[in-house]
Chain A
Amino acid sequence: MNLKRHIPLFLKQIVYESKSYRRNPAAAFFTLVFPLLFLFMLRIFGNDFVEIDGGSVSRATKYIPMITAFSVIGSSYTGIAMTLTINRDIGVLKRYKGTPLPLMIFLLGKITHNTIVSFVLAVIIALIAFFAFDVGLPRNSIAPFFLTMILGAATFTSLGIAFTSLIPNSDAAAPMVNASIIPLMFISDIFIPMDSAPIWLNSVAQIFPVRPFSLLLQEAYSPFSSGSLNNPGNYLILFAWLAIGLITSLKFFSWEPRR
């Protein structure tokens, strides 16, 4: 690695990724629209009190971290897998392959940009929750919240990139990506609270990164949490999946259409 050359190259890649993303209004719009829709539904269902670990909180306080987890996974994992597959099919990636741009820089640029986008998304959701639903900001857990967000977004982006090596073409992207993530979300405390689920099901979900991510966010938002890193295990699981995602991406990434 030639750091003197590669660091500016990496930073510039992020700038171009960001420009390209911001100018595609549809993509940017839909990443925001889904969480807003969720929040709206929450409003309709009423904001009475529910029990969580440590006491009772408003329904919004319970659900906001889950919505955040859902949105972040949508913008990082699903988003990157779809755009990469489309770009691969139309030859954008093949063009990069013909240049001296190192694969590592290209991938790190994507991951970093996506992490920033997810982070901004999570902050927007937190602010809307705060102003419109009276949900406390994760104030006394600000460090765990930030760490969870960065680690989570990077992990799901790298897994999204890794997953593209299994997707044959962009027509197959949406069904394959959804099939790989939605069932996992159902058992991972994203749509349905899993407090009363059988233990074995929670143990299975705990192997994968979605549940640890959701639990860490729930803890960060909980007014009863101490603000320290209570569950290092959940971070470790995310970290392990980040490593798996990175290694798989570097090894199996394909610049060219698979037909």
Chain B
Amino acid sequence: MLAIDTNQLTKRYGDFQAVNSVSLKVREGEIFALLGPNGAGKTTTVEILEGHRLKTSGQVKVLGMDPSENSTEFRSRVGIVLQETGIEQYLTAVEILEQFTNFYESPRSISNLLEMTGLEEEKNKRVKKLSGGQKRRLDVAIGLCGNPDILFLDEPTTGFDPSARRTFWDMIKNLRNDGTTVVLTTHYMEEAEYLADTVALMNHGKLVTQGSLSDLKISHNQTSITFKLDESSAVLPEDIQEISEISKSMVLINTESPTAVLSDLTGWAISEGIELTNLEVSRQTLEEIYLGILK
């Protein structure tokens, strides 16, 4: 079953194509990360899916419904965590959650929401007095009030410290394990790498690529080989020299056939009696793939 299914989704502001023929497929119960640089059209896309913005053309189905109809059922089944926080300043965290759980027919319990987001100790503090990270967690708690089938998270961990981020990630994974579909936009590649089952990359309003994280890594199957080489004592064989980038005696080779390259390289080094210091072989991270695609 698809939780989200868009076909040729387009949003135009005058002559500007903010979103250009985007066809996204999000399966039920997965964490889906939408990536891309600022201005790529991620937020516009997500806001159309949330029902906050109207599409110009194309088809959109979220949980089988058209978000633009803005039905009560749609609102009840979708949880939204916006990029900007705006919460009544003078109510306490627990009062805010009481208020928002009222809006739903079968809400999550407040104690459960506080526990999930780690806000138990802050529950009687007024929103005004919460720290940035605590407000963000309250944001997420509000998004979860109605026990949604699908949760939208727009750059949820901006401004988090590393340990808070890790706790937050585990919470999102738990949600997914409970069957909630999560749609995430983020600037942090390690966030997508840690969380996402599927990633989609947008640039200039277009969908550049979409697939499971492992597929993406296979299709951009580059391995990086690095080592240190003192150029005064050795010259690389020509076929290796051709694919190498050398700077300050560090050699970098990006290759799709690491086995053959490594064999050539080590064979040459052994026969010449050279030690390849700091030799490292690693698969490209999502960040490197991302930057490679955007180049």
Contact = CB atoms under 8 A, between A and B. Distances in A.
Nearest to A24: B90
A87 interface: yes
A99 B70 CA distance: 10
Given A91-B82, A95-B82, A95-B86, A100 B76 contact: yes
Nearest to A2: B72
Nearest to B152: A98
Interface stretch (B95-103, B178-186, B231-239): B95-103
A90 B52 contact: no
A102 B76 CA distance: 11
Contacts, number: 66
A20 B90 contact: yes
B84 A16 contact: no
Contacts of B90: 19-20, 23-24
A120 interface: no
Contact of B75 (A16, A93, A99): A99
Contact of A100 (B50, B87, B103, B126): B103
Nearest to A27: B90
Contact of B86 (A20, A92, A101): A92
Contacts of A100: 72, 75-76, 103-104, 146
Contacts of A91: 82, 84-86
A98 B87 CA distance: 13
A98 B75 contact: yes
Nearest to B51: A98
Interface residues of A, number: 24
Contacts of B88: 16, 20, 87, 92
Contact of A98 (B78, B85, B91): B78
A12 interface: yes
Contacts of B52: 94, 97-98, 256
A87 B105 CA distance: 26
A94 B83 CA distance: 11
Given A12-B99, A16-B99, A90 B86 contact: yes
A95 B88 CA distance: 10
Interface in B21-78: 50-52, 72, 75-76, 78
B142 interface: yes
A99 B86 contact: no
Interface of B: 50-52, 72, 75-76, 78, 80, 82, 84-91, 95, 99-100, 102-105, 126, 142, 145-146
**Which 9 pairs between the two chains have the least Cβ-Cβ distance?**
A91-B86, A23-B90, A98-B80, A100-B75, A90-B86, A92-B86, A99-B103, A101-B103, A100-B76
